[in-house]
Amino acid sequence: MEDSQREQERMIRRHLLEKEELQARIQGMKNSVPKSDKKRRKQLLLDVARLEAEMEQKHRQEMERFQESCPDNGNGNLDSITEDLAKMDLENRPPSVSRAQKRRERRAALQRERQGSIAEVEMEHLASFRREEEEKLAAILGPKNLEMKDIPADRHCMYRAIQDQLVFSVTVESLRNRTALYMRKHVDDFLPFFSDPETGDAYSRDDFLSYCDDIVRKSLWGSQLELRALSHVLQTPIEVIQAESPIIVIGKEYTRKPLTLVYLHYTCNLGEHYNSVRSLEAGAVGGAAPRLF
């Protein structure tokens, strides 16, 4: 029993030493790459994450093999052994309080830096996806003599994009009210498409009517179903252009010139977003003013 415990202590001590050596190696890698070199810094962050994951997996597998070979040793004293060893320096001497505090602060700083690095990589990936999406959309809009027109990224973006396309004055609040009113009047057309996002249960009639109220009161994000209602309210087709999917046309039964929206997946941290379009010659985009009923 004592032999297995000593072996466990030696293994944990080795793990701690290997972690410290890895952190020193990582710090040297970081010092060797200028912060101004974005490409190499990005690759560095990926390499650091890979090295840390590989070491964590290696240590976990070694611990699991040890526990399988010594089932009587158990895990009861593992945490206490690890904690005791972590408080000692590599020469097995009790450190001073100031040195222990410095190590804790250094570990905390490394953890914050690691988290910041992960967030930086994620933002760089998002920016890359965004650029690629915008390039594909420009290739689709160009032959139509159109370009994307930015709409503020808020809960009203779909309605603001519709508002921008119209040749007559209308408020976002009015568009929301008209959308909710139409959906209330045509419950049977919309209710089958609504379900609870958490449970998947179909909406009851009361649930659906409450959702219609929220369109006005809580500024819900607009979806394709709200666009369907708006196409009927405006008696105008609405086409939605996406980078990776065919163009969707809602309200094909109407003959007016379609309103054109652009649907983006990576435009901002909020995720999905609607933009408007405008003519490359800066001409007016939109159809004749329908009668709102």
- According to DSSP, residue 221 is labeled P
Question: Would you say residue 193 lies in a domain?
Answer: yes
Looking at 94, 120, 154, the residue that finishes a domain is 94
* pLDDT tens-digit series, residues 43-54: 878 888 888 888
Question: Would you say residue 131 lies in a domain?
Answer: no
Q: How confident is the model at residue 285 (pLDDT cuts 50, 70, 90)?
A: very low
Q: How confident is the model at residue 209 (pLDDT cuts 50, 70, 90)?
A: very high
* pLDDT tens-digit series, residues 124-134: 566 777 888 88
- State the residue range of the domain holding 68: 2-94
Q: Which one, of 226, 219, 218, 214, lies nearest residue 155 by Cα?
A: 219
Verify that 12 and 83 share a domain, yes or no: yes
Coil vs helix vs strand at 31: helix
Residue 67 has pLDDT above 70, yes or no: yes
pTM for the model stands at 0.55
The number of folded domains in the chain is 2
Question: Would you say residue 197 lies in a domain?
Answer: yes
Q: How far apart are CA 176 and CA 184, in angstroms?
A: 12
Question: Would you say residue 212 lies in a domain?
Answer: yes
CA angle 219, 220, 226 (to 5 degrees): 115
Verify that 40 and 146 share a domain, yes or no: no
For range 187-216, the mean pLDDT: 90
Exposure of 281 in the CB half-sphere (CA atoms within 13 A): 6
Question: Would you say residue 290 lies in a domain?
Answer: no
Question: Would you say residue 145 lies in a domain?
Answer: yes
Question: Would you say residue 184 lies in a domain?
Answer: yes
For residue 190, the Cα-to-chain-centroid distance in whole angstroms is 29
Q: Would you name the residues annotated as active-site residues?
A: 154, 157, 273
- According to DSSP, residue 170 is labeled -
Contact between 69 and 8 (Cβ < 8 Å): no
Verify that 86 and 176 share a domain, yes or no: no
Looking at 69, 94, 119, the residue that finishes a domain is 94
Verify that 160 and 234 share a domain, yes or no: yes
Question: Would you say residue 256 lies in a domain?
Answer: yes
Verify that 150 and 250 share a domain, yes or no: yes
Amino acid type, 217: R
